[in-house]
Amino acid sequence: MRKIGYLRVSTHEQKPDRQIEGLRSLCDELHIETLSAVARSRPVYNSIIARLERNDMLVVWALDRAYRSAKDALNELDALMDRGIYFQIANMDLDTTTPHGRFIYTIMSGAAQYEREMLIERTKEGIAAARLQGKQLGRPPKLTPVQLFDAQFRLEQRTATKAAIAAEHGIAPWTLTRAIKRSMTVPAH
């Protein structure tokens, strides 16, 4: 029986170290994917699934590293079982080959989906609260209001091009265009 480990992190800033340490001693191979759980296509995951053979085992550190919803997790487990492939969640030492294991898996799939949905809801609430407090969200502007005013003035007077102004500030011309458009739609306080 081959044990193939699937690891996933959402961004390049996230490190899979905890997953690697947890799976290294359990698996014959480890495969790491860097993308959001909700991505439509997961090339590393799909490649692993295509290569798995009867009596192989897919191993993940935690359920949320592999599946985006309870429905997704349950459908994938059924598809794997139909092919004679085992599935293990390492941090739970969960064996899905038994009725008890599948029952716990079903509950954990729902719990993982609930946790993800609650995180999304809390994030939205936090963003809304920050906006009500007047906090600016996202990246800071590349140009100060004075620099933006100067750029608009020079463009209107035709004393400089967007490309030249952008180069002066070390930004792309498209960034300058967006900043100008945004400044025209911001309501006065």
Tell me the catalytic residues. Answer: 10
CA distance 162 to 151: 8
- Say what angle helices 99-132 and 70-82 make with each other, to 10 degrees: 150
102, 96 contact by CB (below 8 A) = yes
- In what order do the strands lie in the sheet containing 29-34? 29-34, 3-9, 57-60, 86-89, 94-95
Amino acid at 148: L
What number of CA atoms fall less than 13 Å from residue 156's CA on the CB side?
Answer: 7
